[in-house]
Amino acid sequence: MFVARSIAADHKDLIHDVSFDFHGRRMATCSSDQSVKVRSASTHSGSVWRVTWAHPEFGQVLASCSFDRTAAVWEEIVGESNDKLRGQSHWVKRTTLVDSRTSVTDVKFAPKHMGLMLATCSADGIVRIYEAPDVMNLSQWSLQHEISCKLSCSCISWNPSSSRAHSPMIAVGSDDSSPNTMAKVQIFEYNENTRKYAKAETLMTVTDPVHDIAFAPNLGRSFHILAIATKDVRIFTLKPVLIMLMYLAVFLSANYMDNWKCTGILKGNGSPVNGSSQQGSSNPSLGSNIPNLQNSLNGSSAGRYFFPPLDSPRAGSRWSSYAQLLPPPPPPPPPPPPPLVEHSCDADTASLQYPHPHRGYFSRPLNPLPENEGV
């Protein structure tokens, strides 16, 4: 059974968002009283809509966004020996992002494998992605991408998957209430060729204003799970549309041993077999040398190590060919028919030696002579 407990947040107005740090020990709150409360620091000149933590790999870093059309990045530092706050931690505003012309409605740090990147969305329908070139200097941020959603944006979420099979992906929700607007969720995916974000999917079934949106941790799945908060909560699964199947090779027969070079044979006790090294041999085939090698084993167990001929990688390809599959060698010619041997014999002898298959065999001689006739 869950027990609800109240926490004195000391805010003077409505609290819009609450976020815990990575370890769950610290909580940041943002409110319309123009403050983010970690240690009761006034941050913006307007209502603060969202606050989010960066991954602890980059230190204790916060980002907030506000109705004052700005997004701010904050860092916690510890007072030095010559500081009045010696040994105490306090928050310092490192930078203010002022590219938006309207209220900044959401702010999210990218997954850590992408580096220290920050995405913001605003009521003007623009998603902006910033990057900190130097994580040790958080006062310098560069604008990398601007994505036009053509709708008033209310929330964003990064796809947390770190798999190389999945390109960076960001989902954007809209609270646009105009009657001409139907789909309220768009998904953008990074294209390696154009180095830009392009629209990958539009969820046409979500037509109500979206208040929040979030990807689930991937956990090795081949698809993505997205939760959307509108007047209800909806959960979607996104599966890759294109699955590329590449025809690599086919093994037709087991007679490819002549296309492989034997680099060594080891006996059961680990000692090499005399004459087993074939690297310097002018004949790379193995088939003609197998009898000699087997004779040198003298009945002991051995393991053979084969090394295929390498093929140079193709131009512009990231893959190298580690084995070359050659067509099977032509079959040997059929053996010649056995030679015909001529034998001379009389008819009676031939009938006795080679009887007819459909005739009975009798021991008496064929064509007996009459009794009254002599030979």
> Quick one: pLDDT at residue 43?
63
> Quick one: pLDDT at residue 334?
84
> Quick one: pLDDT at residue 326?
47
> Quick one: pLDDT at residue 122?
95
Cβ neighbours around 97 below 10 Å, total:
20
> Quick one: pLDDT at residue 25?
74
> Quick one: pLDDT at residue 323?
39
Does this model's pTM top 0.85? My answer is no
pLDDT in tens, 303-313: 444 444 444 44
Q: Which residues contact 260 (CB under 8 A, 6 or more apart)?
A: 286, 306, 307, 308, 309
Superfamily assignment of 15-238 in CATH?
Answer: YVTN repeat-like/Quinoprotein amine dehydrogenase (2.130.10.10)
Cα 65 from chain centroid (whole Å): 33
pLDDT in tens, 228-275: 998 888 998 887 765 444 444 444 445 555 555 566 666 655 565 555
pLDDT-flagged residues of the chain (< 50): 40-41, 243-253, 276-288, 290, 293-294, 296-326, 361-363, 375
175, 41, 22, 104: CA torsion to nearest 10: 20
Let me know: does 201 contact 223? Beta carbons within 8 Å: no
User: Per-domain residue ranges for the chain?
Assistant: 15-238, 246-319
> Quick one: pLDDT at residue 95?
93
Q: Which residues contact 188 (CB under 8 A, 6 or more apart)?
A: 127, 147, 169, 170, 171, 172, 197, 198, 199, 200
> Quick one: pLDDT at residue 154?
94
